[in-house]
Amino acid sequence: MLASRALVLVMLVACGGGAKQGPAVTAVALPPANPAAVAKMVQGVQASKEPGGRPRAVSLLREAIAIDANLWEARYDLGVVLASTGDLAGAEEQLSAAAKLSPDAEDIAVALGEVRRRRGESKAAADGLADFVQNHPQAVEARTLYVAALRESGQVDKAIEQAREALVRKQGDAGALAELALCHLAKGEKDTAQLLAKQAEDANPKSAVAHRAMALVLLANGDDAASFVEFRKATDADPNDTTSRLNMGAVLLRAGVYTKAEEQFRAIVSVSPEDNEAALGLAASLRGEADAQHPQKLDEARKILEAILERDAHDVAALYNLGVLLADFLKRPAEAAPYFKRFLSDAPSDHPRRDDAQKYLDSANVGTGPAPAPPAGPAPAPAPAGGGKK
């Protein structure tokens, strides 16, 4: 997964439907903003900051857009709120519309790129950001995110070129150095990656992305303990850095420290209840914690996996893990079989759990299949996020 894990909602002051302060190059001729729409938008932004206020925020922002379809600030805010709830398709729709209305706003370009990355559309994210940075060469944040999207779409050499372009425009930028480190890590050049990650940390000791890059380099070197320390520094620097929390949880999960892993995954789902990767990690943690004295943890894990599949019926990690949970832990093999069948139907041909799933189905009794395999997700090191918003 590469991608920064959440977008940051900013309070926008709409003085009309024009471009906001930032790297604007040209003005977009839009009619004056409707005051009633602006009022709804402000209410929506405030509601998004309240506990449990996101559904109301979505409603208010939609009302603002219904009143004034050209109010790009409301579309941007709605896109950010939808992304935070896990509705990435809806977020992309609103952010794309906002980008058409205000093509020079870097915040929109970055938010749209982040959403596309989270949807697994790294090439689409790179293509969109390529157009933006070509027209806005000084937009370092957008260019750094462009580097991440290029790296994730397999264009590592081009990503390195763009990271260097960012550093020409902003020497010593921690985010660009961190992304450059991850590019070299992707090429297997671990020593160079570690050197660049250290430069990023030296450039800004409080940079979450710099600490995260160092953590991922250390993780690739097999130093789980040191990587965990760096992930902790990243979350201390930015409590909203859910990518680092996800990695910390994965490291703890791999080490069998299930209770501590649960804490990290719960911290993510408490703010992003529809984050499937974090939910999958939480289910795996609960499964590891369950014993004769805590059988309820298995039932909670089952409900979490079922909720993931309600959001995405083709989530192969959830399908496999729910099958294993039912077959080997809850001893309900008949209920497990359909999930393994769905997994085999949806999983790519080279998925590492295909053989295990087939063995479960081939067994005369699903419950006497292979020993419980490690959960299919989350991966110990999700595709790292470099310089984008969290």
249 close to 281: Cβ distance less than 8 angstroms: yes
pLDDT reported for residue 349: 87
Q: In the Cβ-directed half-sphere of 62, how many Cα atoms lie within 13 Å?
A: 11
CB burial of residue 4 (10 Å; 0-12, 13-18, 19+): buried
Give the position of tokens 């992305």: 209
Instruction: Give the pLDDT of the chain (390 residues) as one tens digit per residue.
Output: 333 333 223 323 233 333 333 333 444 567 788 999 999 999 999 999 998 899 999 999 999 999 999 999 999 999 999 988 878 889 999 999 999 999 999 999 999 999 998 887 889 999 999 999 999 999 999 999 999 999 999 999 999 999 999 999 999 999 999 999 999 999 999 999 999 999 999 999 999 999 999 999 999 999 989 999 999 999 999 887 888 889 899 989 988 999 999 999 999 898 778 788 899 999 999 999 987 678 899 999 999 999 999 988 989 999 999 999 999 999 888 899 999 999 999 988 888 999 999 998 887 454 444 544 545 544 433 444 444 434
pLDDT reported for residue 241: 81
DSSP state of 119: T
339 close to 313: Cβ distance less than 8 angstroms: no
Within 8 A by CB and 6+ apart from 262, the residues are 249, 282, 285, 286, 289
**Is domain 1-119 given the CATH code 3.40.50.300 in the classification?**
no
Whole-angstrom distance, CA of residue 308 vs CA of residue 342: 14
Within 8 A by CB and 6+ apart from 383, the residues are 1, 2, 3, 152
- Which CATH number is correct for 240-390, 3.40.718.10, 1.25.40.10, 3.20.20.60, 3.40.50.150? 1.25.40.10
Is the sign of the CA dihedral 93, 99, 105, 106 positive or negative? Answer: positive
pLDDT reported for residue 375: 52
pTM over 0.75: no
Q: Where are the domains of the chain?
A: 1-119, 240-390
Q: DSSP for 250-294, please give it.
A: HHHHHHT-HHHHHHHHHHHHHH-TT-HHHHHHHHHHHHHH--TT-
Whole-angstrom distance, CA of residue 274 vs CA of residue 212: 23
* CATH topology agreement for domains 1-119 and 240-390: yes
Whole-angstrom distance, CA of residue 224 vs CA of residue 217: 10
